Structure 1
Amino acid sequence: MTDWDDLRVFLAVARAESLSAAGRVLKLDPATVGRRVARLEEAMAARLFARSAQGYALTEEGQRLLAHAIRAEQAVAAAGEEVRGDPGRLSGQVRIGAPDGVANFLLPQVTARICDDNPGLEVQIIALPRVFNLSKREADMAITVSRPAAGRLSVQRLADYHLHLAASRDYLARHPPIRTLADLRGHRMIGYIPDLIFDKELDYLAETGVEVVTLASNSVSVQFNWLRAGAGVAIVHDFSLPAAPDLVRVLPGALSLSRSFYLIRHDDDRRVDRLNRFAELLAQGVRRELVRLEGFA
């Protein structure tokens, strides 16, 4: 019979793809993690990981075990919630993956309110400019700007959001006026590093006709702070503007972009009540916060 604690170690290694990273999550030294993996492989009479210099990758047998281990993890979490005797409130840990724009300017307020109403809840936000692998359980759910085309995933459209050109009042006072999109060619543009744009929906500047980005970063937060420092002009989320009162929209009548946020979950999680309830609270909160911030901007 397989020990749940060994399955917990297996899940950590499958997600982290290394003994040391899994050890940090589990608060175990890598040698102990390795012994536990070996013990599980012996009990299962199967090789669960392919070892290499790059780390630990699941074998076919490991992939088959992964789904069962995740279901066991969900069952343990659900049992803990029921035993604690407060079925009306959420508890335990929920991890959300999101691009850093929504992670910085929307999710902190939304998740703080959810935690206020659910004191036993722990929320982790992974803010990274990339696509999250929910099959490996890098996160319990993810917010994306495109609907995924493949995978055993459930997809919920959260809301539309809007973007405009913006610059600081200081920058605009020190540089020639911007009366048309063509005038942008005489200004320092801020945007993404072209070859690190991980989703076509983020290729905003292609719609301006600007070909050269002078200040580029894969991080929305870095771009935003360049704007606040008066370094140039960029396309920004309307919901971020209230965080920097010195920023103003530029040519709002000539360029106004609309995109959508999607909440992505693994299909198996539809049977997990606590995640269903959290996802609904998150969706409601994001929609409310978008209305509030875009109206304020």
Structure 2
Amino acid sequence: MMDWDKLRIFHAVADAGSLTAAGDTLHLSQSAVSRQIRALEESLNTTLFHRHARGLILTEQGELLFDATRSMNKRLEAAAARIRDSEEEVFGELKVTTTIGFGTLWLAPRLVKLYEKFPDLKIDLMLEERVLDLPMREADVAIRMKEPSQADLIRKRLMSVHMRLYASADYLEGRAPINEMDDLREHRLVCQNPGSAQVSASASLTQSLLSHDLHSLLTVNNYFGVLQAVNNHLGVGVLPNYVVEDFPNLVRVLPEVESAEVPVFLAYPEELRQSKRIAAFRDFVQEEIIAHRSKLRSSLVA
């Protein structure tokens, strides 16, 4: 059976790439760290590190062990989080991941309400198009623009999004009217670059719009940039319909044009089912979506 203490020291050395740095983290001398690594190598009858003047590099066997200790570390962090969550209060760190567009345009502006309710919460908001691995604890909870495929996740469908065409009222004033798709040739289209990371429904709509022999074009690699350009009267932008509520100066162009439906899901690992932090975040998002729908409905009636 492997010694837990030696594994902890090995993990710190592999993570830091140096005996000295690992010793500083663990509050141990370099010689004590070195002794423990040698003892672990002897017990496994293998070499875990190549020793170089510039530091330590993992051998193939070392990489295997580091994968195991990294996974073990994440499991221990998850267990610690669950233990902390058995308390009644909602506090501590919550790692939330979603796309750049949804995170900047919809989620971040609403977080003030969550903090008002739970001031001791520490949210780490990770905005990227890459899908983070929830079971491996790269994040605690995700809002994704398609249904998660992993089996060990709890998922809840939040809403549907469509990509539509919008322009500012100032941009449209005094310019050629847009009554059909071919009229876009007289305008600048602002959209995500077809090669950038985005949901397939958005990419399909963008591709069909670009086939109309446009004279002027601005492409950006995320929706936040598209929105900034449209708000500054640069042209007609392809944007998700959830932005309308927060930017009433936007006017929908060609109302019959929209992407296929994009489902929005909230997901978190099965092992965090009892988490008070997750429950607080999930309830907050659901309440905001209900309020968001209600505002959209009342604006349509008006």
The TM-score range, normalised by the shorter chain, is 0.7 to 0.9
Comparing 35-44 with 73-82, greater Cα deviation is found at: 35-44
> Following TM superposition, by how much is the alpha carbon of 1:282 offset from its aligned partner in structure 2, in angstroms?
4.2
Q: SS of the counterpart of 2:245?
A: helix
Kindly tell me the number of residue pairs found equivalent between the two proteins: 275
Matched residue of 2:244: which SS?
Answer: helix
Aligned to 2:279: 277
Q: Is the 8 A contact 1:130 1:198 kept in 2?
A: no
The aligned runs of 1:81-100 (5 Å cut-off) are 81=85, 87-100=87-100
CA change 1:92–1:123 in 2 (3 A) is: same
In structure 1, stretches of 5+ residues that fail to align are 14-18, 21-28
1:40-96 CA deviation, whole Å, 9 max, x = no partner? 993865788999xxx9999333333334322321332344455xxxx3331110011
1:75 counterpart = 2:79: yes
Structure 1 residue 60 corresponds to structure 2 residue 64: yes
CA distance in structure 2 between the partners assigned to 1:50 and 1:185 by the alignment: 62
Give me the whole-angstrom Cα distance separating, in 1, the residues matched to 2:151 and 2:64: 17
TM-score when normalising by structure 2: 0.73
Question: Which residue in 1 is equivalent to 2:264?
Answer: 261
Tell me which amino acid in the other structure corresponds to 1:171.
Y
Per the TM alignment, residue 179 of structure 1 is displaced from its structure 2 partner at its CA by 0.2
- Which structure 2 residues correspond to residues 90-169 of structure 1 after superposition, within 5 A? 90-150=90-150, 152-169=152-169
- The AA in structure 2 aligned to 1:187 is H
- List gaps (5 residues or longer) in structure 2: 52-56
Aligned to 2:227: 224
Separation in 2, partners of 1:172, 1:107: 29
1:174-253 → structure 2 map (5 Å cutoff): 174-203=174-203, 205-206=205-206, 208-211=208-211, 214-253=217-256
Moved more, 244-253 or 71-80: 71-80
In structure 1, what residue type is equivalent to 2:142? A
Segment drifting more, 34-43 vs 195-204: 34-43
Which runs of 4 or more aligned residues in structure 1 lie more than 6 Å from their structure 2 counterparts after TM superposition?
46-51, 55-58
CA pair 219-121 structure 1, distance change in 2 beyond 3 A? same
Q: Percent identity?
A: 22
CA contact (8 A) 1:164 1:249 kept: yes
Alignment deviations for residues 5-39 of structure 1 (CA, whole Å, 9 cap, x no partner): x59x86x95xxxxx59xxxxxxxx99625875995
Structure 1 residues 196 and 44 mapped into 2: Cα distance closer, same or farther (>3 Å)?
farther
Q: Distance in 2 between matches of 1:113 and 1:132?
A: 26
Larger radius of gyration: 2
Residues 193-252 of structure 1: CA deviation (Å, up to 9, x unaligned): 121134323315347443367111112111101001110111212221233332111121
User: Are the aligned partners of 1:158 and 1:262 in contact in 2 as well (CA < 8 Å)?
Assistant: yes
What RMSD in Å do the two structures reach over aligned CA positions? Answer: 4.1
Distance 1:274 1:138 in 2: 19
Equivalent residue of 1:114, what SS? Answer: helix
1:288 corresponding residue in structure 2: 290
| Aligned 8 A contact 1:142 1:265 in 2 | yes
Q: Distance in 1 between matches of 2:266 and 2:193?
A: 25
Q: Are the equivalent residues in 1 in contact too, given 2:100–2:127 (CA < 8 A)?
A: yes
Distance 2:114 2:159 in 1: 19
* Residues 130 and 30 (structure 1), Cα distance of their counterparts in 2 relative to 1, 3 Å cut: farther
Q: 2:94, 2:122 within 8 Å by CA — same for their partners in 1? A: yes
Aligned partner of residue 124 in structure 2, secondary structure: strand
